[in-house]
Amino acid sequence: MSLRFYQDLILALFSQVFFFVLFNKVCAAQYFIWYVSLLPLLLANNRLFLERQYARLSGLLLFWFSTELLWNYSNYLLENQGQPAFLTMAAMNLCFFLANLSLGVSLLRHHNYKAI
């Protein structure tokens, strides 16, 4: 990722952190802070934001946030409540992975590349 986007520092940082967290073996909620903190800087050069496609951007972020809540809830059921929620957790892991993937691909696809 860094070789592909090395001329646009913000995009290189965001994409590397985002896809590292996405494809990592272990995922925890605090990892999202790593790339959510870079999201406002990335959106400053993103056509979804610049061309005022707020409905599409809001839909992507709402889809990501709702799957994150469901993912965290299934983890809560297993880890804190001790309920056997393995199938629910597997389904939420898949949904959350797909939501992250669609968000990442959409943000990369609609980015205006700027060399720094």
The full set of domain ranges for the chain reads 9-109
CA–CA distance, 19 with 24 (Å, rounded to integer): 8
- What's the confidence (pLDDT) of residue 62? 94
- What's the confidence (pLDDT) of residue 23? 92
Instruction: Give the tokens for residue 100.
Output: 């992250």
CA distance between the termini of the chain? 16
Q: How confident is the model at residue 95 (pLDDT cuts 50, 70, 90)?
A: very high
- What's the confidence (pLDDT) of residue 34? 87
Averaged pLDDT for residues 76-94: 91
With 90 as the cut, is the pLDDT of residue 45 above it? Answer: no
pTM of structure: 0.82
Averaged pLDDT for residues 89-112: 92
Q: Which of 32, 26, 40 is CA-nearest to residue 68?
A: 32
- What's the confidence (pLDDT) of residue 116? 61
